[in-house]
Amino acid sequence: MGSGKISENLILLAIETSADETSAAVLKVRHGTINLSSNIIYSQILTHGKTGGIVPEMAARAHIPKILPAIKLALENSGTSLRNIDCIAVTAGPGLITSLMTGVDTAKALAFALNIAVIPVNHLEGHLLSSLMGQNFQFQISNFQKLFPAIGLIVSGGHTMLVLVKQIGRYKILGQTVDDAAGECLDKVAKILGLPYPGGPEIAKLASRGHATAIRFPRPMFNSKNYNFSFSGLKTAVLYFLRDRGELPTSNSRLRADIAASVEQAIVDVLVAKTLRAAKEFKVKTVLLGGGVAANQKLQQTLKRQLKLNIPHSKFYIPHSKLTTDNAGMIAQAAYHHARAGRFATFSKVQADPNLKLRSWSL
């Protein structure tokens, strides 16, 4: 399959099973427009909420009965069938190895049966480029080159990372978390406050009723000269704060709300400051936001406001809420660029890699 033909006319099936979401999506490219025509997500939140976090073997087992129904529904919702699919994309990593294997093995089996190509995609690249689908799940191919260089801020449960995007496929990691990611910190603080899993949305909901300036929690690595992040100390600061007060957070609703709001503000302050500094240093045209924590309204609004004040010429892209959690739609969008470059893989080279790194490639 030639890359020129694919960039003009393509139907792509994508699969995502890196953690606890089973997802399949269909992306269509027609007449210079990318359209995400379906994006099915089966979540395991209710299952893992009972244990307060993801149990890897439970997650892997739960993918098995959902993967084929997700693919079937994605095809039906997009008005297409397997015989019309040009290639299959799948998350190869990073993630939970047993979960990743379900998606990778399914993709390889389908590709072999249909005699079509497979595109292994890095989960982080999916988050990095997720905002480019726009709020209507469409994007004009001709607009891509106008966006770069860009800074990408990936903020999820397992990753907090700043990436310089010179062009799609050309990445430089400027900094990342050295311990707890922002989402992981939110989950742990939520557990301290007696909130259910996942903690990020619960903290945001509770924070809306609190005062963000009520408690001055630390802003880890705020003034460091690099672009790395650290949020484990923030979680510890909450523990010490409650220990010193000798008060259980569940017994004081006002205190819980103030803690949530103050923690949220501390995280947002660090994320925004470092993103803004990177955007200025590298003179970027665009800032891209991705990952589960990208759905946080305070982060979105604060970053948007600060970019408008400090870099008014810049563009700011936020993913649709359905593209912030782990989903096959973001994998499909990233895979399109690989297909356009003719970057397909042989079956033997498509393997699940739980520690897969974000690396550059060229269009």
Predicted pLDDT of residue 6: 54
Q: Which one has a higher pLDDT value, 81 or 57?
A: 81
Q: Is the pLDDT of residue 3 over 80?
A: no
Q: Give the whole-angstrom CA distance, residue 363 versus residue 357.
A: 19
Cα–Cα nearest to 122, from 298, 315, 338, 306:
338
* 3-class secondary-structure state, position 143: helix
Cα–Cα nearest to 266, from 278, 258, 255:
258
Q: Is the pLDDT of residue 5 over 60?
A: no
CA torsion through residues 318, 319, 320, 321, sign = negative
pLDDT in tens, 148-198: 999 999 999 889 999 999 999 999 999 999 999 999 999 999 999 999 999
Q: Is the pLDDT of residue 50 over 90?
A: no
* 3-class secondary-structure state, position 182: helix
Lowest mean pLDDT among 71-75, 132-136, 259-263, 346-350: 346-350
Which residue's structure tokens are 């593209």? Answer: 323
pLDDT in tens, 90-110: 999 999 999 999 999 999 999
* 3-class secondary-structure state, position 170: strand
Predicted pLDDT of residue 346: 80
Ordered by where they begin, the domains of the chain are 3-137+323-349 (3.30.420.40), 148-318 (3.30.420.40)
